Structure 1
Amino acid sequence: MVAGRVSFVGAGPGAADLITLRGARRIAEADVVVWAASLVMQECVTEHARPGAELVDSSKIAHEDVLALYARAAREGLRVARVHSGDPSLWGAVQEQYDAAEALGLEVEIVPGVSAFGAAAATAGRELTIPEVAQSVVLCRLEGGKTPMPEREKVREFARHGTTMAIFLSAARTSQLVEELRAGGYPDDTPVVVAYRVSWPDEMWFRCRLDEVAARCKEHKLWRHTLFLVGAALGASGTRSHLYHAGHFHTFRKPDREARRALRASRG
């Protein structure tokens, strides 16, 4: 008997053409496609699923129902594509499903997807890591929601680093979010990108200051499906990268001697 398989597929942030080639292939191969219609654009599934494939909207069933489907896949040797929004490694409740599928003897894999924070940065035309401004990105969420947060992972603690932050699942409490960011040290004029359903047909995004976030979100009635990018890099100009400087060398390129001396002098 052929072993069943569960592929956890990252569908990307919304647009049907932002799914990966591998993800689309797994959906096309699947006997059963499980997806959340409220989070994943319908075309991500319908454009790739084969005729006759069983399509299950996970937003209408409980976790136990999904596990029962995996058990059936193990018994009948079915291929299942479990389609998640964004990238499955972030707030996807994938680990418990992965472990359960593995315990059932199924082949299991994760197909990564484009995360919403990358799509938001692309839409806003911003690089999140600017030399000498920010070289790290913190991915986090506001505490106090449905899922408990470890004490050491409060937004204000992450904000003390002063680098770029991508904050998910927090739009329903924007005033609290702003206060946490202030408590961590971000000044009121910190640039923020607010991105709602980025890459969907009804996407909306705008730039504002930190002290404008709560009012702007209230104005636009943003309380779900909204991501916040925060930090000085969002308002900084691009700087000359040393990686592509004529004086920099690596395995595939030798440096120009004069440029090398100038680069060393600038670093000194």
Structure 2
Amino acid sequence: MTVHFIGAGPGAPDLLTLRAVERLGRCSVCLYAGSLIPTAVLEHLKPGAEAINTAGMALEDIITRMIEATAAGDDVARLHSGDLALYSALAEQLRRLAAADIDYTLTPGVPAFSAAAAALAQELTVPEVGQSLVITRTQGRASNMPAGETLETFAASGTTLAIHLSLQVVVEVVERLLPFYGAACPAAIVQRASWAEERVIRAPLGELDGAAETLAAKRNAIIFVGPVLGATDFRESKLYDPTHRSRYRWASED
């Protein structure tokens, strides 16, 4: 039997991929992160499937439940919020399943930063303004940041930052970024992107910490900083320019 790791997306139950819905619909056991995934997502489970909230479970308990379920002949769905590739604590689970010789699959999900950009009605890469995106976080209790992966290191490039898991230290974030971006640099906070209670705040970087005080909760948010957030007068890409030649389209002769 198989454990299917599934990215549940940012929250909205209709933002799961078709593959995610199909795999959820055929698993008899589902382990899900209840503190991050709305219960509406569980409506994709097949009737009678056992749904287990892992919010209060330790890693070894989760792995034990997977082993028990597969030994009993059940496929298991392991639901993680957002996309599996980012901040999902996936690696340690895969290591243990490999040691137990249990098969697994990975189904990607819509990442939270992408849903947050949609909430901002914003492209995060704008021609000649910003062509890179740094996805990072600040130091937390769950794990240490590697040496060299600091806000200051990334900010020195001036590129767009998508800072996860850091709303509780937004004052510190603003203080550390101001020397690089300046107080007038566009910034934003998107909390619970795609949820019914989604909140969007836009403010200059120098005012962002004050604007964040209107948010009752201090979690489930992404902080964005960078010039692209306010770019309007920019040079358009040549991608669809009629004079631009590519392997797929000849330049217009007009």
TM-score by length of 2: 0.95
Give the match for residue 220 of structure 1.
Answer: 215
Partner of 1:84: 80
Give, in angstroms, the shift of residue 257 of structure 1: 4.0
Tell me if 1:44 matches 2:44: no
Alpha-carbon separation, structure 2, partners of 1:111 and 1:144: 27
Give the match's secondary structure for 2:52: strand
Where do residues 61-80 of structure 1 align in structure 2 (5 Å cutoff)? 61-80=57-76
1:10 corresponding residue in structure 2:
7
CA distance in 2 between partners of 1:87 and 1:24 (Å): 14
- Once the two structures are TM-superposed, the CA of residue 212 in structure 1 deviates from its matched residue by 0.9
State the partner residue of 1:158: 154
Which of residues 172, 181, 189 in structure 2 aligns to 1:186? 181
Where does structure 1 lack aligned partners over 5 or more consecutive residues? 259-268
* Match in the other structure for 2:26: 29
> Gapped runs of 5+ residues in structure 2?
none
User: Structure 1 residue 118 and structure 2 residue 75: aligned?
Assistant: no
Q: Distance in 1 between matches of 2:100 and 2:73?
A: 11
Aligned to 1:265: none
Q: Is the 8 A contact 1:156 1:182 kept in 2?
A: no
CA contact (8 A) 2:186 2:225 kept: yes
Q: For 1:151, what is the secondary structure of its paired residue?
A: coil
Structure 1 residues 211 and 145, CA gap change in structure 2 (3 angstroms):
farther
Rounded Cα–Cα distance in structure 1 between residues aligned with 2:75 and 2:132: 38
The question of 1:20 aligning with 2:17 is answered: yes
Q: What is the CA-CA distance between 1:102 and the residue it aligns to?
A: 2.2
Larger radius of gyration: 1
Name the amino acid aligned to 1:232: P
Alpha-carbon RMSD: 1.4
Q: CA deviation at 1:36?
A: 1.5
> What number of residue pairs does the alignment pair up?
253
Consecutive aligned runs of 4 or more in structure 1 exceeding 3 Å deviation = none
Please say which of residues 190-199 and 233-242 is displaced more in the overlay: 233-242
Q: TM-score, normalised by structure 1?
A: 0.91
Decide whether aligned partners of structure 1 residues 175 and 145 sit closer, same or farther in structure 2, where only a CA change above 3 A counts: farther
249-258 vs 82-91, which moves further: 249-258
| Structure 1 residue corresponding to 2:135, chosen from 120, 130, 139 | 139
CA distance in 2, matches of 1:83, 1:56: 10
- Cα distance in 1 between the residues matched to 2:235 and 2:109: 29
1:221 Cα offset (Å): 3.0
Q: What is the percent sequence identity of the aligned residues? A: 38
In structure 1, give the amino acid aligned to 2:160. T
* Higher-helix-fraction structure: 1
Determine if the alignment matches structure 1 residue 107 to structure 2 residue 84.
no
Question: 1:103 Cα deviation (Å)?
Answer: 2.1
